[in-house]
Amino acid sequence: MNIFRKIDYLLSQPMLWLRRHLDKRQGELFSRKIADKAKLSSKDIRIAAPFYVKGKEYIQFSGFFQSHPGLRIDCFDYYAGHQYHPHLYLGKNVICNYHCHIGVINEVTIGDNVLMGSRVLITDHQHGQFTEEQRDIPWAERALISKPVHIEDNVWLGENVCVMPGVTIGKGSVIGANAVVTHNIPPYSMAVGVPARVIKSIK
Ligand SMILES: CC(C)(COP(=O)(O)OP(=O)(O)OC[C@H]1O[C@@H](n2cnc3c(N)ncnc32)[C@H](O)[C@@H]1OP(=O)(O)O)[C@@H](O)C(=O)NCCC(=O)NCCS
């Protein structure tokens, strides 16, 4: 390592330490605010920074919730001139790994003991319809279309799983890594692939 690199390295260390410290503090403050509002203990909410949460007033926390860095929750009550009524219910003991994204304009419910791998997407809406009437309207300007999503208790969503609007995933199920869930999955099923298909079930 030449002398300039060494100086550069030494100068960058305090900045890195400060960045990490501020991130940690930001996560703690936000988590405490959420816990207070939901009348939970401050230990019940652990959201690590960086995070992006829009519409936190539409989120119902009911117990322990943990997210690793990169959480993105969008609860839109207004988009492209239209009003929406989002409701996101989070059960007890829900864990999101890194960079999970939950988008809500209508209803998403996530049951108790749901575990998500990293980069999971759960959304209850689409950017308009793929129809002749709408074909020349920019996608970002079309009215959003929504169907509720329900993820029942004790479901495990593997890495990169996408859960599409209108889907219910039955309790005790596991969805394999990289699956795109476009149809309902019955309770106690293992589903994999694009679109996700049930490959195993238990009683
Ligand atoms: C779905 C999963 C739980 C199945 O594990 P398992 O019970 O050990 O099952 P197997 O490995 O015996 O696989 C059963 C079949 O499904 C296939 N399969 C397994 N996972 C798959 C996946 N994610 N996508 C597509 N097919 C998959 C296997 O190839 C196998 O098919 P075959 O019988 O034709 O050979 C696991 O493969 C998985 O995806 N886990 C998620 C891991 C993860 O994301 N971890 C990080 C997160 S918290």
Q: In what order do the strands lie in the sheet with 59-61?
A: 59-61, 87-90, 107-110, 149-151, 168-169
Domains annotated for the chain, with CATH where assigned, are 2-201 (2.160.10.10)
Active-site residues, by number, are: 127
Residue nearest to ligand 1 atom 3, measured at CA = 176
Residue nearest to ligand 1 atom 15, measured at CA = 199
CA-CA distances (angstroms) from residue 110 to 91, 96, 134, 165, 198? 6, 11, 32, 14, 20
pLDDT tens string 138-177? 999 999 999 999 999 999 999 999 999 999 999 999 999 9
**172 vs 163: CA distance, rounded Å:** 16
Question: Residue 55 — pLDDT band, cuts 50, 70, 90?
Answer: very high
The terminus-to-terminus CA distance of the chain in angstroms comes to: 61
**29 vs 47: CA distance, rounded Å:** 9
Q: Contact, 177 vs 166, CB < 8 A?
A: no
pTM for the full model? Answer: 0.93
Question: Residue 1 — pLDDT band, cuts 50, 70, 90?
Answer: low
Strand partners, 59: 88
Q: Contact, 141 vs 159, CB < 8 A?
A: no
Pocket of ligand 1, candidates 192, 198, 202: which has the most ligand atoms within 8 Å of its Cβ, to mutate?
Answer: 192
Residues of the chain with pLDDT > 90, as a percent, come to 98
178 lines ligand 1 (CB under 6 A): yes
Residue 175 alpha carbon, nearest atom of ligand 1: 1
